[in-house]
Amino acid sequence: MHTTANPATTAGTGTRLRLPLTLGAVAGLLAAAAVIETVIRQVPLASSEMFVLLLCLLGLVGTLPLALPHPVATAGLITSAGVLSVAAFDALTLAVILAQLIAAYWLGRRWSSPAAVLLGLPYLLLFLMSAGRTDGSEPTVIAGLLAGLVPVAVGFGIALRVRSDAVDNRAVHDAYVGSLLAHSARGERARIARELHDVVAHHISIIAVQAESARLTVPGMPAAGADRLSAIADTARAALTEMRRLLGVLHEDTDSGIADRAPQPGLDQLNDLLDQAREVTGTGTRLILTGQPVAMDPGVELAAYRIVQEALTNARRHAPGAAIDVEMHYATDCLRLLIRDNGPGDAAPQPALTATAGPGAGHGLTGMRERAAAVGGRLRAGSAAAGGFLVEATLPTDRAGG
């Protein structure tokens, strides 16, 4: 069974592969920025080298964990470094603040536990502990700011994760519904095929059996009558074969088919069709071939075969006993079909042309026109100039080009 990759799933996989690289690059840039900011701010204050070194280390601990794959470890290390910097050294770099907000978002985006919203709690406690100070120091303001922003970042990540999960669930649901509908459609097609086979095929088989029985059991039957009954039986068997082939198409998606998957007829079987017409009518039926035959699309060959079959059936119905010529002319880019009889032409009753009795045929002139149009061709029908009725079809030898 062929499966098609979901574009959303493919895109999500690509995003997951790129995120570690992106966060690693961001972590490196923020770490460098934290060190540079610490040096720039502390050197003018004549801070000791040990003090600057400790702040630089805290800056690295507060930024580099962004490259870690686990969001809980990342958030824990960065939060610990940030709180320690504020509580012990009254200093926090902008790079660490940005890393803290990114870690909070990443925790909400990847961790399903509601405890993620508690990430800002250490900054809230730190802010409350230092709220009694009257100097309004920068660390106190930063702690209060992070106490409010960190939960917001976590909530934003949680909202995006919930939205992404909803989209994935909807895609799974749609795929399930689509599969269920397809399965139901296959079951309905199998049921229709089974009922048609059990009912229609049964009656057609009875027609064939009764025709053969009548031919063999009725004493003193004229030879012409016996031939007609034999033709009826042959036509019934051909109709049964055609119907089973069509039912096989309906049943193709099920585990077992009704009949063997015989190929659709093409121009190679045209001689057999004409031989059958000669046997049924007892009149002359000629095939006239001009031009160099070329390989054609199977759909075009099927359309040509059905048009000839339909025209022969109409000629038998409306011009019984008339001779029929079937001309096939292969041109550079098309096949011209001319089916002509020497009957009464348009003087024949035309309304009956809307229905035929041939196995696998369409619906008279309308069916022939539809078959020609379906492969990019055209068809016209009417009285021939020299008398009789003429069906002329032009079909492209290259269906794509038609």
Cα 388-391-394 angle, rounded to 5 deg = 150
Other beta carbons within 10 angstroms of residue 164's beta carbon come to 13
Please say which residue of 176, 208, 238 terminates a domain: 176
Q: What does DSSP assign to residue 242?
A: H
Confidence of residue 345 (pLDDT cuts 50, 70, 90): low
Helix, strand or coil for residue 348?
Answer: coil
Instruction: Assess whether pLDDT exceeds 80 at residue 168.
Output: yes
The predicted model gives 149-157 an average pLDDT of 87
Same domain flag for 171 and 272: no
Please say which residue of 109, 143, 176 terminates a domain: 176
Q: What does DSSP assign to residue 43?
A: G
Instruction: Answer yes or no: is 28 within a domain.
Output: yes
Smallest Cα–Cα separation from 238: which of 268, 267, 278, 265? Answer: 265
pLDDT given at position 4: 44
Domain that holds residue 33: 7-176
Whole-model pTM: value is: 0.43
Instruction: Answer yes or no: is 212 within a domain.
Output: no
pLDDT in tens, 236-264: 878 777 776 776 666 555 544 444 444 56
- CA 22 → CA 18, 27, 227, 297, distances in Å? 6, 9, 86, 53
Instruction: Answer yes or no: is 206 within a domain.
Output: no
Burial of residue 52, with CB atoms counted within 10 A of its CB: 0-12 exposed, 13-18 middle, 19 or more buried: middle
Tell me which amino acid residue 5 is: A
Beta-carbon contacts of residue 39 (< 8 Å; ≥ 6 apart): 52, 56
Instruction: Answer yes or no: is 225 within a domain.
Output: no
Q: Say which residue, 310 or 190, is predicted with more confidence.
A: 310
Q: Residue with structure tokens 């990759």?
A: 5
Confidence of residue 212 (pLDDT cuts 50, 70, 90): confident
The structural domain count of the chain equals 2
Q: Residue with structure tokens 């910097």?
A: 85
In 247-372, the DSSP E strands lie at 285-290, 324-330, 334-341
Same domain flag for 158 and 297: no
CA–CA separation, 36 vs 341, rounded Å?
99
Please say which residue of 176, 202, 232 terminates a domain: 176
pLDDT given at position 41: 82
Residues 299/399, Cβ–Cβ less than 8 Å: yes
pLDDT given at position 328: 93
Instruction: Answer yes or no: is 229 within a domain.
Output: no
pLDDT in tens, 221-241: 888 888 888 888 888 878 777
- CA 316 → CA 216, 349, 370, distances in Å? 26, 13, 21
Other beta carbons within 10 angstroms of residue 387's beta carbon come to 13
* CATH number for the domain harbouring residue 275: 3.30.565.10
Q: Say which residue, 116 or 96, is predicted with more confidence.
A: 96
Same domain flag for 171 and 273: no
Give the whole-number percent of the chain exceeding pLDDT 70.
78
Confidence of residue 206 (pLDDT cuts 50, 70, 90): confident
CA–CA separation, 302 vs 289, rounded Å?
18
The predicted model gives 306-319 an average pLDDT of 84
Other beta carbons within 10 angstroms of residue 12's beta carbon come to 14
Q: What does DSSP assign to residue 359?
A: T
pLDDT given at position 214: 80
Instruction: Answer yes or no: is 259 within a domain.
Output: no
Helix, strand or coil for residue 83?
Answer: helix
Q: Say which residue, 400 or 199, is predicted with more confidence.
A: 199
Instruction: Answer yes or no: is 250 within a domain.
Output: no
Smallest Cα–Cα separation from 154: which of 67, 86, 78? Answer: 78
Same domain flag for 28 and 170: yes
Instruction: Answer yes or no: is 375 within a domain.
Output: yes
CA–CA separation, 358 vs 59, rounded Å?
89
Pull the structure tokens for residue 244. 């089973």
Same domain flag for 171 and 310: no
Sign of the torsion angle spanned by Cα atoms 295, 300, 303, 304:
negative
Instruction: Assess whether pLDDT exceeds 80 at residue 63.
Output: yes
Q: Which of 1-10, 227-236, 341-350 has the lowest mean pLDDT?
A: 1-10
pLDDT given at position 338: 93
Q: Say which residue, 334 or 317, is predicted with more confidence.
A: 334
pLDDT given at position 394: 94
- CA 17 → CA 11, 67, 70, 118, distances in Å? 10, 13, 14, 28
Same domain flag for 32 and 150: yes
Q: Say which residue, 349 or 215, is predicted with more confidence.
A: 215
58: left (phi over 0), alpha (psi -120 to 50) or beta: alpha
Residues 340/385, Cβ–Cβ less than 8 Å: no
